[in-house]
Every structure is written in structure tokens, then in C-alpha cells.
Amino acid sequence: MIEDEWLEWYHLTPAERWQESEKLWQFYLSSGGDLNSEPDSQSPFDTLYTQREITVDGRTGVRAVRGGGIQS
């Protein structure tokens, strides 16, 4: 069962939905909302928490492999 509010939303055209979304953003910002994201220590993109080990060549994700070939 769909609530009346959602049913109204589904009946809007994409352009009408866009206009309603713009109204919501304007209200959010005018009521003190902020677009700056909060730090997330669990995010893989948070540079403060994703300090990687420095490898032999100074690059991340590359390991030195012993030379000498395969011995039997």
C-alpha cells in the first residue's frame, strides 16, 4: 500500500519532481542546513584515516619481489 504523499510524487512528471526537489533544497538551506559533509572515519575516501604504508619504491600498493627466477 502506497501512502498518499508518495502517490502524488509518482504522478508528477520528471520536470515537476525536479521543481519540487529545488523547493526542498531551498527550504533546507534557508532553515540552516549545510552542504558541507561531516568527517566519516569509516569512509575509504577519508584521507585522515586512510594512511597507507610506504613501500620500497615509495608508492602505495607495490611490493618488492625477490629476483633470481624460479629454482627447482
The yes-or-no verdict on residue 57 having pLDDT over 90 is no
| pTM of structure | 0.46
The yes-or-no verdict on residue 28 having pLDDT over 70 is yes
Q: What is the DSSP string of 7-66?
A: HHHHHS-HHHHHHHHHHHHHHHHHTT---SPPP-TT-TT-TTT-PPPP-TTS-TT-----
- Do 39 and 46 contact (CB within 8 A), yes or no? yes
